[in-house]
Structures are given as structure tokens and as C-alpha cells.
Amino acid sequence: MLQLYFFPMACSLSSRIALMEAGIEARYHLAHIWTKKVVDDDSDFRSVSSKGAVPVLVLENGDRLTESAAVLQYIADLKPELGLAPPPGHPDRYRLQEWLSFVGAEIHKAFLFPTFWYKDDAALAKPRARIGQTLSIPAAHLATREFLVGDRFTVADAHLTWTLLLLRAAGVDVAQWPQLADYLSRMQARPQVKAAIGIEAALRKTLAA
């Protein structure tokens, strides 16, 4: 069985959404990203991945895969019939990778990561000034489309949904972009997306308490 190391409401939520949308059972291990402890057994998360970051997907053969873009495509390719990623070689596969890179680099690492990890107003001035311009890109794209790639839900939607969920806590009101707000509502209405968020939001509250 696949295993996913995750931290509730962190970027590994996209991988949980992908697994649940694919109907793939997995064992989930909560890895605390600040203490670097695996909560199951208090072991050192860095011995699972030297990056000390979620997601880590442990494959059936024991190999460990990191980086959301790779993990998400791996999960999608386990169930090609569901179309969670366009097939390798299809022109839309590159569109999927384009969006996974954009979400991972331009929204996650350029804005969410420094906001939650550094909390330093001076250091955050430039990321804050830039995030509106960044979000206007998917907003314009989604003005005429239901999903980021093609005409169905893909793992790129799982990843964008996660970032949009966190923006409010990072001080950005997604309602400024009605297309993004509508898109987020549509994504949150998907039963598996809603269930995945419900599980992680509840776990996150337990941790904060």
C-alpha cells in the first residue's frame, strides 16, 4: 500500500486530494514540519526524507518520492482512466506541468512559504506586492474554463485548490478575483476534495490545541 507523509493543511493536502479523487487507499503518517518528528512513533522525519518536507510518497517498492509535482503526476498515472493527468506525450501533459510549476513556484514558494515561515514584514513586502499580479494569471485563465487543464479535474486543480485555501490565512482575500472564488467553491464542492479538506482541517485543529 502507498504511504503518504503529510502535515495537515500543508502542500501535501494536494496529494491527499489526488489519492482520494483516484480512489487509492494509502497509509497516512503525520510528519510535523516544524519539529521534524513523525507523530506515529516520534521518529526523525529527516530519516524518511533528508528534505524534512512533505509530501513524501512511499511507493509499493519502498522508494520514496518527494516534490508535489512529481508525487501528483505519479498518483494520477496509477489510474490513467480517470484523467487526473493527460497521458504522457499529450500536448495537455505539458500544460499540466506548466500549471504545477506555476502553482508550486509562483504561489507556494514565492508567497505562501515565506508568509508562513518567515513572518517578517520587511522580507515579505516584495512577495506581498507581487501576489496580486500572480493570482491574476489563473484568474484570467479560469474566466472561460471550469478547470486548469482540458475539460476535467486534474491534479493541477488539486494543487491550485490547496494554495487558494491557504491564501486567506496569509492575508489575501480570494474574493478580489471572482473567477478564483467561484473556482474554489466548485472545487470544494467535489465530494473527495471536501472530504480531504475536512480530514486535514480537523487534524490541524487538534495540533493547534
Ligand X SMILES: N[C@@H](CCC(=O)N[C@@H](CS)C(=O)NCC(=O)O)C(=O)O
CB of 181 to ligand X, least distance (A): 23
- How many residues belong to the chain? 209
Residues from 63 through 92 that contact ligand X (CB under 6 A)? 67-68
As given in the structure block, the three cell numbers for residue 84 are: 487526473
Residue 103 contacts ligand X per CB under 6 A:
no
Q: Identify which of residues 131 and 179 has a Cβ nearer to ligand X in the complex.
A: 131
Contacts of 56 (CB under 8 A, 6+ apart): 4, 5, 31, 48, 49, 64, 65, 66
DSSP at 53: -
Residue 54 contacts ligand X per CB under 6 A:
yes
Q: Identify which of residues 67 and 77 has a Cβ nearer to ligand X in the complex.
A: 67
As given in the structure block, the three cell numbers for residue 97 are: 506541468
Q: Identify which of residues 34 and 206 has a Cβ nearer to ligand X in the complex.
A: 34
Residue 14 contacts ligand X per CB under 6 A:
no
CB of 157 to ligand X, least distance (A): 16
Distances (CA, A) of 89 to 86, 95, 97: 8, 11, 12
CB of 160 to ligand X, least distance (A): 13
What strand order describes the sheet that includes 26-30?
Answer: 26-30, 2-6, 56-58, 64-66
Residue 114 contacts ligand X per CB under 6 A:
no
Residue 158 contacts ligand X per CB under 6 A:
no
Interface residues toward ligand X, by CB under 6 A: 10-11, 33, 52-55, 67-68, 104, 113
